[in-house]
A and B are shown apart, each in its own frame.
Chain A
Amino acid sequence: MSDDLRAKFRDRFIAVAQERVKLGIQNLSDQGDAAVVRAELHSLAGEAALIGFDDIANTARTGEAAAEEWVERGEASSQLACARVLRQLARTLRQLEGESASETGDAARPSQNAERRVLIVDDSAIVADQVGEALGDAGLEVRVASDLSSALEAASTFAPDLALVDVTIPGVDSTDLCLRLADAFAPKKVPILLLSGLSDEELEVRARSAGAQGHISKRHGLAAVVDGVRAALEGTTP
């Protein structure tokens, strides 16, 4: 294969691989389809190997093996292993994309999310880790608080640009939590988004009654959470 052909397919490969990883991440939730994750990683491995991205191919195969176990046994550990691989792939592909842009003279633009801070309030360490890692991969600085007191402390010490709050934090209802967080953020207006596995309709009602500025349902996968946070941050000033 000539260098011209390889260069031509390099950018195309990166774009297709990013779509496969995105689809994989969307299917990581409990409502997702493990078989889709496996199929996307298998296709990605083959495409990467053929064009000569052997490290990406090997990583994808590791994820494919984890997805195979997830399909067959349904174990959460395999699901988490898939999540780790998909995020690693997402990071690698972003680096490649940046190198490609630099080589073509289209200097990589700094992320609009650079140095934006997100406070995650969630008592589930697994959820907080998953969401936190996905937001971190998107270039955001993340702090996790597992209860009301640590959330209030982080409101002043971490000074987030946005708070992502689980609907059910033990010992405090979401309305009280949102009010106290808003007080702690004052005078700065920091958007508070409710995060839950509830449906969009149920969350809409909860968010309104709690005084939150918006909501994101985990039912749409991690990529949708990242997209929702990004969209909300676009309406704020760094």
Chain B
Amino acid sequence: MPDERKRILLVDDSELLLEMASAALSEAGFEVSTAQDLNDLDRIETGDDHDLILMDVQMPELFGDDVASVLRHVRGVRAPIYLLSDLDEAELAQRAANAQIEGYISKRRGLEALVERVNAILAGSEPGAEREQP
């Protein structure tokens, strides 16, 4: 029986954050892969292998919204991309809009809210869901 779990790619420089978010999302039934830096990200096939990409913003090498923009507009990644950050939400909205990606999720709302948002996005009630359809 094929594994029909939705696949999520988490990108964040915090190992602890990757562990916590992965555990919560895995517990909710998602298949999660993680990247802690750009080398990790380069090793992961971001093309059509994921149903959703969650990207931290303030990372040591680059801003996550810049990385997201490259994934979307240079590499042609079609999976919805959301920024995942502790920055002020107005700034996050602006960064997501500038990068022309689907949106953002605030870390400030906690893990339960993260799982709820991911469920909503992948269930089709938020931007980017249409990209899930073949």
Contact = CB atoms under 8 A, between A and B. Distances in A.
Interface of B: 13-14, 16-17, 19-21, 23-24, 27, 56, 58, 60, 85-86, 106-112, 114-115
Contacts of A42: 58, 86
30 contacts: A1-B111, A1-B112, A1-B115, A2-B27, A5-B24, A5-B27, A8-B23, A9-B16, A9-B19, A9-B20, A9-B23, A13-B16, A16-B16, A39-B58, A39-B60, A43-B13, A45-B86, A46-B56, A46-B86, A47-B16, A47-B20, A49-B107, A49-B110, A50-B110, A50-B114, A51-B110, A51-B111, A52-B110, A52-B111, A57-B108
Q: Which of A1, A12, A49, A57 has the most CB of B within 10 A?
A: A1
A129 to B, nearest CB: 30
Interface in A41-61: 42-43, 45-47, 49-52, 57, 61
Interface residues of A, number: 20
Main secondary structure of the interface of A (DSSP, over half): helix
A133 B115 CA distance: 41
Main secondary structure of the interface of B (DSSP, over half): helix
Contacts of A12: 16, 19
A1 B86 contact: no
Nearest to A9: B20
Contacts of B86: 42, 45-46, 49, 57, 61
Interface of A: 1-2, 5, 8-9, 12-13, 16, 39, 42-43, 45-47, 49-52, 57, 61
A9 B27 CA distance: 14
Contacts of A47: 14, 16-17, 20
B17 to A, nearest CB: 5
Contacts of B58: 39, 42
Contacts of B27: 1-2, 5
B94 to A, nearest CB: 18
Contacts of B85: 46
Nearest to A64: B86
Contacts of A13: 16, 20
A57 B17 CA distance: 14
A8 B19 CA distance: 11
10 closest residue pairs by CB, A with B: A46-B86, A1-B24, A1-B111, A46-B107, A49-B108, A16-B16, A49-B107, A45-B86, A50-B107, A43-B14
Given A12-B19, A47-B17, A51-B20, 10 more contacts: A1-B111, A5-B24, A5-B27, A12-B16, A46-B14, A47-B20, A50-B20, A50-B111, A50-B114, A52-B111
Contacts of B23: 1, 5, 8-9
Contacts of A50: 17, 20-21, 107, 110-111, 114
A45 to B, nearest CB: 5
A50 B107 CA distance: 5
A42 B21 CA distance: 17
